[in-house]
Structures are given as C-alpha cells and as structure tokens.
Amino acid sequence: MTGFPITDATPVTHAAALPSQADVVVIGGGVIGVCTALFLARAGQRVALVEKGRIAGEQSSRNWGWIRQQGRDPDELPIMIEANRLWRELAPQTGIDIGLKQVGITYLARTEKELDGYAAWMAAVSGHGLDTRLLRGAEMAREFPDFTRKGYAGVLTTPSDLKAEPWLAVPALAALAAREGVAIAENCAARALYIAAGRIAGVITERGRIAAPTVVLVGGAWSSLMLRRHGVPLPQLSVRASVAATAPVSLPHTGAAADSDIAFRPRADGGLSIAAGSSHELFVGPDAFRALPAFARQLLAHPFATRLYPAAPRGYPDAWTTPRRWSEDAPSPFEACRILNPKPNVAKLRQVAQQIARIFPDAGPVTLRTAWAGMIDTLPDVVPVVDNIAAIPGLIVGTGMSGHGFGIGPGMGRVLAALALEQPPGHDLTRFRHARFRDGSPMRLGPAL
C-alpha cells in the first residue's frame, strides 16, 4: 500500500525529454496507453507518451484489480482472452511482483432469473473455450458451501480469471516500456492535437510540439473533452466508483466474487479489495445533458445502478465550469486538474464490508483500512470506441472502457498498436467503431454481468 493512492503529490517517475519528432504519440498514461506504447516500441517505432498527471494516477490504479474473461461482451471477449495471456507473459518481464495470481472469479445469483442471464451469456460465448461453469444445487453446495448457506440460487465461475495489484502493475509496465525506448513524460499535458492539411501532424503539449503522423488518444474520462475541442462528438460520460482495502481477514473463499450489491477479491497484503457491485454515481454536467438521449436505454435497463448528483467538482471533465474551448498557447483544462481524485463513498463501503462479514460469519469483522474512488469512462452501450477517427486521419481513439480497462489493457494496447501500424488488429472491431453513435445503428447494450 505504500504510496497509494497515486495523486499529483506523488513524485514524478518519468521525466523524459520530449522528442521533436516521433512515429507515434500516445496521449494518456493509463494501462492501455502504456501497453500501446510498449507494443509500438517493440515494433520498432519511435514512441512518445505524454501524461498530464502521473502514470496510472486515475482509474488504471483505482480499479478492483480484476482480470476477468467472465461476463465480457461477446465482441470484447476475444481481446480479453488475449489480454489474459499477455498479462501472464508481461508480468515476469517487469522484474517485480505485481500481484498477478490466478484466483478465479465467481458471480453470485440470488434468483433463477439471474441464473438464466448467466446461462444466456454462456451460450453466446460457447465457442471460445472458456473454463466457465454454471453451478447450482448439490454441485454448488460442494464447491461453494458458504454461498449456498446464504441462500444464493447459483453461481457462475471462471477459474482461469486473474487478479493483480493495479497500482503496482501499471507503473511496472510503464517502467518496462521506458526501458524498451518509450519516451514517457509525466506532468506533461497534451493541450491539443496538431492538425495540418486536415490530418494529424502531431501533438501540442504544455512543453512544446511533438511532430508525428499518428496519435493514439487513450485519455480515459478526459478523451471526449479533447475530441470535442476538435469537433469530434462522442457521448462519453464518467461515473464515480468507490473501492476500499480492508485489514487482513481470512475467508474460506479465496477467489474474487460479486453479486449486484458487493464485490471483493483477495489482496497481496492479506486483506480484501471491496466495492459496491454494480453501483456507480454520476455527476450531472453539460455533457450529461447532451448525451442523455444516447444513455436513456442503459438507464432504463438498470434504473437503480447509477445515482445522480447535481454537479461535478470544479475541474472535472464534465464540470459546469470546465472550458470546452481553449487556446493551445495557454493552460488547458488538463493542466487545471492533473489527476481526478474523487472522495469515496465510505458509508456505502462500510455497508459492503458488513454484507461480506454476514456471508462469512466465522471470518470475524471485515474492517476498512483505507478507501478511494475513481472516475470510470463509459459509453451508452457499455463497450468502448476503438477506432480510427475518419474526420481526422492519423487519429486513433481507445476510450469508454466502462470499467473493463484494467483487465483488458494489454489486449487493447496490442490492438491499438496494430491500428497505429496500419496492420490487421487480429480481432473484429466492428462493434467498437466510432460511427455507431451517428450512423443509425441500433443500440445493443453489453451484458450487465
């Protein structure tokens, strides 16, 4: 836990001199940006990565630490299966213990209706060779007796799923990328895209311009703000999700598990990382009003999953006072808020701890040691945009991971690197195209699993 959470007070680790030219500039130092840069460097590209705050300062270090194939949208799943493999390959290459461990992930169903939803998901992904099983009755009682005693109707479980400590893993991957030649500059905001003759010609940062024919924007909750400045609409919002670390506690269940109200997974320090299941909180701002029609179906499908607040804190991407237009010669909104560091909902997390203690009464009290929150970038159909932006040739965007970004990070990074290299991505990206929000395509929600 030393040095966590990562904030703008965290010392800068990467202070590379910005090159005047690069083959590719990556904007954003989260897990996907870091992995994109790493795979581009391994392909022989000259890569600069600029991060307005710190590597993994936002959601990439504030997530649950799950690396899950289970419950993925069927179109995401092939990339996630690749990511599972890549995590296993990359972890030893970092040279440190990032807490990567195969612990399995289990979803708990209270009702037969929930089990039917799990069964439908299994049918949709049956051709991918996962080790996922749907258990109920005697089989569930034998393998998950504590959940059976608490009245759950059944479970969906994937033993091959992993976990890692995200605040260790992403900085370790960044250090690996730096050793392999990526020029990483923390505390260096990209103020604007540099566009010449209608296409990307580089990036204008607070420290000067980097000329490059290709830019990969992986700015998480900040991506839509950068895109809007350049006339590219994207109905992306960010929601607050709170997480806590508990004091050491010994549970009979050693894997990660969740139902609609709670989520937990073991930590390397003997405690748990816990969260409030599918619950999120949205700060309403100008973009939320603009995007409301696009999000209507998601809100109606899960009306109690998101709590609304009237205004975001000052400086947040969708705060009422955040500029939507600014000069590239003056400080930008990205410099005004180096790292999103929202206050966690501690009262909700205490309720989660109590619920976990009730499931495992023999384990003793589950007590919070520290809590934090992050802002999750989300899109109306709960799957990302991973695409070339037609209006600005040379610009590639990977955003809106909707809480799925940490686990899928290496896979998405490899895919984005392929797009930047103008190579086949190895997966069907049709579902993730940017144009789907304006070409009349029907909205298809990702699974709420």
pLDDT score for 307: 79
pLDDT score for 425: 98
pLDDT score for 283: 83
Length of the chain: 449
Domain CATH for 67:
3.50.50.60
Residue 399 · residue 84 · CB < 8 Å: no
Confidence of residue 1 (pLDDT cuts 50, 70, 90): very low
Residue 446 lies in a domain: no
Confidence of residue 324 (pLDDT cuts 50, 70, 90): very high
* Mean pLDDT, rounded, of the chain: 94
Q: Which amino acid is at 222?
A: W
Q: What distance in Å separates the CA atoms of residue 173 and residue 38, rounded to the nearest whole number? A: 8
Q: What is the mean pLDDT of residues 103-120?
A: 96
Residue 341 lies in a domain: yes
Q: What distance in Å separates the CA atoms of residue 259 and residue 445, rounded to the nearest whole number? A: 19
Residue with tokens 């909104």: 333
Radius of gyration of the chain (CA): 21
Alpha helix (H) residue ranges in 331-397: 333-336, 346-359
Residue 138 lies in a domain: no
Would the pLDDT of 43 be above 90? yes
Which H or E element spans position 107?
A: strand 105-109
Residue 87 · residue 65 · CB < 8 Å: no
Cα dihedral across residues 179, 182, 183, 186: positive or negative: negative
Residue 133 lies in a domain: no
pLDDT score for 236: 93
Cα dihedral across residues 108, 110, 116, 117: positive or negative: negative
Model confidence, pTM: 0.96
Q: What is the mean pLDDT of residues 34-41?
A: 99
pLDDT score for 115: 96
Task: Note down the domain range covering 189.
Answer: 24-104+160-437
Prior bond to 5 cis, omega within 30?
Answer: yes
pLDDT score for 2: 40
Residue 115 · residue 153 · CB < 8 Å: yes
pLDDT score for 137: 94
Q: How many CA atoms lie within 13 A of 426 on its CB side?
A: 16
Strand 395-399 and strand 214-217: the pairing is: parallel
Q: What distance in Å separates the CA atoms of residue 32 and residue 396, rounded to the nearest whole number? A: 13
pLDDT score for 195: 98
Short-list 51, 114, 82, CA closest to 418: 82
Q: How many CA atoms lie within 13 A of 194 on its CB side?
A: 19
Residue 196 lies in a domain: yes
Q: Which amino acid is at 25?
A: V
For residue range 353-384, list pLDDT tens digits in order.
999 999 999 999 999 999 999 999 999 999 99
Residue 194 lies in a domain: yes
Would the pLDDT of 134 be above 70? yes
Distances (CA, A) of 306 to 236, 260, 277: 15, 12, 11
Q: What distance in Å separates the CA atoms of residue 186 and residue 25, rounded to the nearest whole number? A: 14
pLDDT score for 131: 98
Orientation angle between helical segments 77-94 and 166-179, nearest 10 degrees = 70
Q: Per the structure block, which two tokens stand in for 180?
A: 């392999």
Taking 3-state DSSP, the helix, strand and coil percentages for the chain, each rounded to the nearest 5, stand at 35, 25, 45
Residue 214 · residue 48 · CB < 8 Å: no
Residue 142 lies in a domain: no
Residue 137 lies in a domain: no
Domains of the chain: total? 1
Q: Per the structure block, which two tokens stand in for 433?
A: 């195209």
Q: What distance in Å separates the CA atoms of residue 139 and residue 136, rounded to the nearest whole number? A: 6
Residue 87 · residue 164 · CB < 8 Å: yes
pLDDT score for 301: 65
